[in-house]
A and B are shown apart, each in its own frame.
Chain A
């Protein structure tokens, strides 16, 4: 009955002695492996989120300057609404409502990534649109008038007169928001995108050594056992439970 071998997919749903065994004798390399996995997802989220935020922020900022009233109103409404509601709830909204409707065929994990990255990007796009707006407002009025005098088409005015002057001066502020966004990546663990904090969390709830896990997370990425089920620990210990129907992948035997 008491197996000492590593868990195999057949063990799922039975008495999981193998998992207890794994927990008591963690292979030393597993922690570092998962550390790099988590770090990688964090970097991915930051980069993808930043790209979305930088592009979409500019779009919002230009829309807000539009002479067509409905366009500028729409942009203002979107920006104000997103800016004053919590990212956490937006992530839930994207993950539970929008993404399952649009991409029903996807695996849950991919859905979580799509929701997480776009949610992060969209939220920070609204902050960045304010930054762009300040930059655009800082371009002297004479530049607009000169463009009109030269009867440049509107797209040309933006692309070769206004933006080349506005963007360089807002770059530092945009950078600050990218850093702020990096610090918000831990939120993605609530919709089960594997992430550093998620790993630390798992480590804490499997070993009850929260001190080590969260302290290290503040300085270094977390430390945990690779071969735990994401849903077996976090679902039990944290509100909200993560995936509605997590794709239960068999425990992967750590490579030594």
Chain B
């Protein structure tokens, strides 16, 4: 019975690859949406803040499954073009994650000490440079752990795309189950594969966090490097 696993594995791995594609695509869409919306939430313009607020509340307040179905089944009727199932999945899951991520971004930016803004203003950095060079690198460290959780949620949510006929891991598992009838074994393997993928995400995020923290700890050194190098070269 256990040796059957080797027969199923190639198909399941192909499914897992699709799951990873959907998850990866969703992460990209989600990060873009999260940063866009999180930064918009800090805009001085009321309208911009309102747009961000509405986006977050709508996508956090409704079920991911319904959002997915809405994007896949309703958009074609409203606008006359249909997305490939996998793209519908990536966009729906990404936008859903982005709404949660938006709050993460907003919170992390708010947690950066006020003195940092004042210092950046005192150095007359442009708003763009202030955000890019001063605020975000510090906020990013705080964002990594919650984003890690969101990525795992996204991986789990990617099982939903099997319901719009994307042949991801869950879909393949369902198909194999109907072909082979070896339900318990197939689902166990599928669950374990999801667990492994989630664990890989956890490891990856831990690595990123370590690196971001190290970068932050070394920032004074890194920014000083040009001046450090000069005396050395002069001495040599």
Contact = CB atoms under 8 A, between A and B. Distances in A.
B73 A92 contact: no
A204 B70 CA distance: 11
Given A84-B198, A85-B198, A190 B163 contact: yes
B230 interface: no
Interface string B10-42: 000000000000000000000000000000000
A240 B171 CA distance: 8
A187 B162 CA distance: 12
Contacts of B160: 86, 88, 187
A89 B177 contact: no
Interface stretch (A15-23, A134-142, A154-162, A214-222): A214-222
B74 A214 contact: yes
A69 interface: no
A211 B74 CA distance: 5
B105 interface: no
Interface of B: 61-66, 69-70, 73-74, 77-78, 152, 155-160, 162-163, 165, 170-171, 173-174, 177-178, 183-184, 187-188, 190-191, 194-195, 198-199, 202
B73 A210 contact: yes
B165 A86 contact: no
Contacts of A87: 156, 159
Contacts of A96: 177, 183, 187
A96 B176 CA distance: 13
A81 B173 CA distance: 18
B74 A197 contact: no
B163 to A, nearest CB: 7
Contact of B159 (A86, A204, A211, A215): A86
Nearest to B168: A86
Given A183-B62, A183-B64, A92 B174 contact: yes
B171 A239 contact: yes
Contacts of A238: 163
A97 B187 contact: yes
A84 B199 contact: yes
B73 A239 contact: no
B183 A211 contact: no
Nearest to B149: A83
Contacts of A185: 63
Contacts of B163: 88, 190, 238-239
A86 B162 CA distance: 12
Nearest to A98: B184
A184 B191 contact: no
Contact of B65 (A93, A197, A204, A215): A197
Nearest to B65: A186
B118 to A, nearest CB: 34
Given A211-B74, A211-B77, A92 B199 contact: no
A97 B183 CA distance: 7
A240 B74 contact: no
A90 interface: yes
Contacts of A197: 63, 65-66, 69
6 contacts: A85-B194, A89-B194, A92-B187, A210-B74, A238-B163, A240-B178
Contacts of B178: 240
Given A84-B195, A96-B187, A197-B65, A89 B170 contact: yes
Nearest to A101: B184
B190 A89 contact: yes
Interface string A57-98: 000000000000000000000000100111111101100110
Interface in A97-150: 97
Interface in A170-220: 183-187, 190, 197, 201, 204, 210-211, 214-215, 217-218
